[in-house]
Amino acid sequence: MTEDSIKEPTPMDPELRGYLDTLDANAPNLDGATNAERVRMGRAVMMMALEGRGAIPGLPNGVEVLDLTMAQALKARLYTPPDAKPPSPVLTYLHGGGWVIGSVETHDPFCRLLCAAAGVLILSVEYRLAPEHPYPAALEDTLAAYSWAAEHAPSFGGDARRLALGGDSAGANLAAVAANRICAQGEVERPAAVMLLYPVVDHPSAGHASYRERGTGCGLDASRMEWFWDLYAAGVSPENPEISPLRIDVLPALPPLLVATAEYDPLRDEGVKYAKGLHAAGNAVTHMHARDMHHNFPVHPSTVMRFPQSVNALKEFAAWLKRV
């Protein structure tokens, strides 16, 4: 990815613009709503996006799905690709949703698609959500799930030597923080790869320009992102690299990383800066930047296979996983 390709955005896809305008027009009025009411509504809206998911074009047949319980009653969903030949590589995946909404269920279509396209086992983790369980609960669950996968991979056809860690948005934040800790401490098998899709890697107080430039009308409003942060990490210093990995003093040596960013996303600038910082620290980084798309474009069930850009992004994610 060249500097010019990031600096010169392409106008937003017209069909996408229409889609986002429809979302804005149909958004519920939350004026005067309590935090609890906002959380309930946000979770309900995420689940509504799954209606009609059977009509998603290209949703693969033959992916085996198993709901399971790991240590400490932590839930997960295991996806096994068609014609899997054990031992197969394993991706421990953390869903997005601002640490507040989203679930294994809302990310089920994307995990099915990526599982089949990449030929990897995917362990999608049902980590605890804020505000009921604020930081560090979700991070603790991420570390527990990855450690469980490393220990138990052979029991479900996985290869403990080929473990990847990944996620989208807030889930990518958890994956980034967990990878930094695992690789720095060396107490568990280090991941073979880390996949970060439009990651949250810095606190809004940093004042990145994309919060102003892309803060409204792009699917994820800056005000919504700030609200997520307040529910997840109120009272935690923004300088803490276990919530803001962009602020880590010294990056550990990491495995190959994929960082995906989107032009029409308030998280654009922090993701771009993180990819540059990873590269400057000597890590092997593949940076994919979608110049005409929005936050969540390749993963959300309403857009995962709706736009050519989403389909192409899925293919690139899968090809990268196969390579590394």
CA nearest neighbour of 67 among 76, 55, 54, 58? 76
Is there a catalytic annotation at residue 300? no
Contact status, residue 298 vs residue 167, Cβ threshold 8 Å: no
Q: Which long-range contacts (CB under 8 A, 24 or more apart) does 62-68 make?
A: 62/116, 63/112, 63/115, 63/116, 65/108, 65/112, 66/156, 68/156
Measured over the CA atoms of residue 30, residue 101, residue 261 and residue 110, the dihedral's sign is negative
DSSP secondary structure of 123-141: EEEE---TTTS-TTHHHHH
| SS3 call for 206 | helix
Distance between CA 163 and CA 55 in Å, rounded?
32
Distance between CA 192 and CA 130 in Å, rounded?
29
- Residue 182's identity, in one-letter code, is I
> Residues 203, 208, 295, 300: which is the catalytic one?
295
> Residues 124, 169, 244, 310: which is the catalytic one?
169
Q: What is the CA radius of gyration of the chain?
A: 18
Is there a catalytic annotation at residue 265? yes
Q: Which residues contact 45 (CB under 8 A, 6 or more apart)?
A: 28, 101
Q: Which residues contact 112 (CB under 8 A, 6 or more apart)?
A: 59, 60, 63, 65, 79
Cβ burial, residue 230 (10 Å; 0-12/13-18/19+) = middle
> Residues 265, 269, 287, 310: which is the catalytic one?
265
Is there a catalytic annotation at residue 169? yes
**Active-site annotation, residues:** 169, 265, 295
